[in-house]
């Protein structure tokens, strides 16, 4: 008896469609407030998709098509992530004023939910090595529920 492998259909979305909305339409609509609103939007998304660990955050980024997320440094009250991949390279090459505030806001809220401390995150673009660093810092004295 021959066993058939079950095929899993993974729909794909053309990256160009995502880029038009994220990097062209939203900045046109939001204007100079785009970075702040995207950061807030990332925090909002994070609340709708609460994750239990940093590993789950990495898996979420993969599934969302946001790039490959890895931890590159961890300190007492700080964690630095690196975001890379073909999607990141493409976004960095197409537009000079691209931001990763949505991703930074998402990570800030995830860390805040996991650590139960007020957390903020900042993105830092590294065009030379085609990556983005996102550093999240939390205050253990400023607890949240």
Domains of the chain: 15-143 (3.30.1380.20)
- Which regions of the chain are under pLDDT 70? 1-13
Q: In what order do the strands lie in the sheet with 131-143?
A: 68-75, 78-84, 131-143, 117-126
| Mean pLDDT across the chain | 90
pTM recorded for the entire structure: 0.88
Give the model's pLDDT for residue 5.
57
- What pLDDT is recorded for position 76? 93
């Amino acid at each position: 008896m021959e066993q058939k492998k079950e095929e899993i259909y993974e729909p794909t979305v053309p990256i160009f469609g995502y880029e038009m909305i994220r990097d062209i339409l939203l900045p046109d609509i939001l204007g100079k407030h785009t970075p702040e609103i995207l950061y807030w939007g990332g925090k909002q998304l994070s609340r709708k998709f609460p994750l239990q660990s940093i590993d789950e955050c990495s898996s979420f980024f993969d599934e969302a098509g946001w790039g490959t997320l890895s931890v590159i440094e961890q300190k007492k009250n700080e964690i630095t992530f690196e975001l890379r991949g073909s999607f990141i390279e493409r976004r960095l090459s197409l537009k000079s004023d691209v931001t990763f505030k949505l991703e930074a806001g998402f990570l800030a809220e995830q860390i805040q939910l996991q650590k139960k401390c007020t957390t903020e995150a900042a993105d830092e673009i590294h065009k030379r090595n085609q990556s983005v660093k996102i550093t999240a810092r939390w205050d253990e004295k400023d607890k949240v529920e």
